[in-house]
Amino acid sequence: MIWKPPERIRHQLPEPNWPTRQEAAASRLFSPLDFGNLRLRERTWVPAMVPWRATEDGYVTPEIIDWYERFARGFPGGLVVEATGIRDVPSGPLLRIGHGRFLRGLRELTNTIHSTSEGRSRLFIQLIDFLAVRRRPEPDTYFSRYLVLTEAHRKWLENHLDRELADDEQVRQAFKELDPDLYPEVLTRRELESLKYGYRERVTDMDLPHIRDLPRVLPDLFADAAARARDAGFDGVELHFAHAYTMASFLSTRNNRDDGYGGSRKGRLRLALEILQRVRQKAGKDFVVGCRYLSEEIIEGGSTVEDAAYYGVELARAGMDFLSLSRGGKFEDAAQPKIGAAVYPYTGRSGYECMPTAISDAQGPFGRNVEPVAHIARSIRDAGLATPVVVSGGIATFDQAEAILQRGEADVIGSARQSLADPDWYAKMRLGFGDDIRRCIFTNYCEGLDQMHKQVTCQLWDRYALSSPHARRSKDGKRRLTAPEWDSSEELEEL
């Protein structure tokens, strides 16, 4: 079950009022941005989206190249390649950059995109680290294999059963026979969570040596990955400090580590700054290094926009080339997965805030992130810093994008799902063909596929599947793997 606002108001798409070619040419959206290492030909941006097309061991596939090539043909100012794992460990079909052997495929990807865009789009790759998340177990399996038995468990069960339990085997058997309503009385909150949701590591698990060591190992892991990204021909990297992953958890107000990397705002930010410093050392001063982080976590006791403003100022001061702001997308409020499935961070309220749908509350799904991002951008400017801020979240018309830029609420407009629905949409606006735009209807069909780790497609493309024999098909043969073509090669020549 994915969380939806209880109001369940169905919102229509806003009237688009697409620009003429002249209006587009005079707009801020289609004006260049030039800041430090970051040079964009226009202020349009395709944020990271995992399409689940890598091999089982994390290599680039022809389908990945097709996917990004299709976006590049819409000539966005910035195009961010999906969250890519920085460690050399099995990560399922997540794209990886944790070893030199991944470079060949990544090089092929950058070569293709650069030649398709002819230098008009800057290509970045999002670098991610994440902690272990296990599938929700069968209760019997949990009690026989995973639960670490303690004296407290034994005592409680013996007391409850009014008999002695001779060994661990008997304790485990007693657990299996226990009325589930009594689990909260005998299990700790964490144990209960592992049973109901699957075991999940936290950055605050200081009893685990590899978690305690994160501040020691992460700077080099990110820096080596960034150096590889440079080698592979990317124009820059986006450090993934957002959503449910390791670095977002360091920034979270829920991070109470007592080793200098938690607690106060300064402590929570420390590792992010150390990573940036090491990335600069290894990838070079002239390489674009930005990050994505959260304007608000939107979970109980989570970071607020004031935390994000502080982080924004300090990250800008430390030399980030851009700051891309997302929101929500956390594990803490995620829905309970089915037995055998893993908890997914976009199923709770915070997940809704990250990718809001057309069925919403009174505020609606469009531009929910703009107000907090404007506050963060203002704080950065008030500190005398000009670091570009990328905003995303339900931005899908020219008027909306242009107004955000004109009011100075952000410097670059990120549109993920609208770009997925129609990768040519920026080019169509720029050339005065707004009426040809295939508009995202914000149903999150794409996100449902993402959740199941199935090849992501847009429901609006699928109806073109049979009429287009050239399109690669999904594994079940029913869906196109890339968006239908825009029959406009002549217009695109003029871009």
Ligand X SMILES: Cc1cc2nc3c(=O)[nH]c(=O)nc-3n(C[C@H](O)[C@H](O)[C@H](O)COP(=O)(O)O)c2cc1C
If one asks whether residue 133 binds ligand SF4 (CB under 6 A), the answer comes out as no
Angle, helices 151-161/168-177, rounded to nearest 10 degrees: 60
Nearer to ligand X, 332 or 450 (CB): 450
Query: Alpha-carbon distance 79 to 186, whole Å?
Result: 50
Shortest approach of ligand SF4 to residue 377 CB, angstroms?
Answer: 26
If one asks whether residue 420 binds ligand SF4 (CB under 6 A), the answer comes out as yes
If one asks whether residue 16 binds ligand SF4 (CB under 6 A), the answer comes out as no
If one asks whether residue 357 binds ligand X (CB under 6 A), the answer comes out as no
User: Which does residue 443 bind out of ligand SF4, ligand X, none, counting CB within 5 to 8 angstroms by kind?
Assistant: ligand SF4
Structure tokens of 199? 């075991």
**Alpha carbon distances (Å) from 482 to 166, 190, 433, 455, 463:** 61, 42, 21, 10, 12
Burial class, 345, CB count within 10 angstroms (exposed 0-12 / middle 13-18 / buried 19+) = buried
If one asks whether residue 458 binds ligand SF4 (CB under 6 A), the answer comes out as yes
If one asks whether residue 437 binds ligand SF4 (CB under 6 A), the answer comes out as no
Nearer to ligand SF4, 223 or 421 (CB): 421
If one asks whether residue 415 binds ligand X (CB under 6 A), the answer comes out as yes
If one asks whether residue 464 binds ligand SF4 (CB under 6 A), the answer comes out as no
- Judged by CB under 6 A, the residue of 191, 307, 409, 447 near ligand X is 447
The answer to whether the CB of 358 falls within 8 A of the CB of 11 is yes
Q: Which residue has the tokens 């991610």?
A: 128
**Beta-carbon-side half-sphere exposure of residue 319 (alpha carbons within 13 Å):** 16
Nearer to ligand X, 175 or 352 (CB): 352
Q: DSSP secondary structure string, 338-399?
A: PTTS---TTSSHHHHHHS--SEE-TT-STTTTHHHHHHHHHHHHHTT----EEEESS--SHH
- Judged by CB under 6 A, the residue of 60, 74, 79, 82 near ligand X is 82
Nearer to ligand SF4, 269 or 456 (CB): 456
Provide the mask over 43-62, with x wherever binding to ligand X is found by CB under 6 A and - wherever it is not. Answer: ----xxxx------------
Structure tokens of 272? 């992010």
- Judged by CB under 6 A, the residue of 261, 287, 322, 442 near ligand SF4 is 442
If one asks whether residue 289 binds ligand SF4 (CB under 6 A), the answer comes out as no
Query: Alpha-carbon distance 225 to 233, whole Å?
Result: 13
Nearer to ligand SF4, 33 or 446 (CB): 446
The number of residues making up the chain comes to 495
Q: Which residue has the tokens 């106060």?
A: 264
If one asks whether residue 460 binds ligand SF4 (CB under 6 A), the answer comes out as yes
Question: What SS3 state is found at 308?
Answer: helix
Q: Which stretch binds ligand SF4 (CB under 6 A): 6-14, 35-43, 405-413, 414-422?
A: 414-422
Nearer to ligand SF4, 420 or 427 (CB): 420
β-pairing, 288-294 with 38-40? unpaired
Q: Which stretch binds ligand SF4 (CB under 6 A): 98-106, 181-189, 235-243, 456-464?
A: 456-464
- Judged by CB under 6 A, the residue of 96, 200, 417, 430 near ligand SF4 is 417
Q: Which stretch binds ligand SF4 (CB under 6 A): 113-121, 183-191, 249-257, 442-450?
A: 442-450
Question: What SS3 state is found at 38?
Answer: strand
Query: Alpha-carbon distance 281 to 366, whole Å?
Result: 39
Query: Alpha-carbon distance 262 to 255, whole Å?
Result: 5
Residues binding ligand SF4: what is the number (CB under 6 A)?
13
If one asks whether residue 112 binds ligand SF4 (CB under 6 A), the answer comes out as no
User: Which does residue 411 bind out of ligand X, ligand SF4, none, counting CB within 5 to 8 angstroms by kind?
Assistant: none
Shortest approach of ligand X to residue 343 CB, angstroms?
Answer: 17
Characterize 56-95 residue by residue with b for buried, 16 or more Cβ atoms within 10 angstroms of its Cβ, and e for exposed: eebbbeebbbbbbbbbbbbbbbbbbbbbbbbbbeebebbb
Q: Which stretch binds ligand X (CB under 6 A): 264-272, 386-394, 468-476, 481-489?
A: 386-394
If one asks whether residue 247 binds ligand X (CB under 6 A), the answer comes out as no
Query: Alpha-carbon distance 489 to 363, whole Å?
Result: 39
Contacting positions for ligand X (CB under 6 A):
47-50, 82-83, 126, 240, 242, 292, 326, 354-355, 392-395, 415-418, 446-447, 450, 456
Contacting positions for ligand SF4 (CB under 6 A):
417, 420-421, 440-446, 458-460
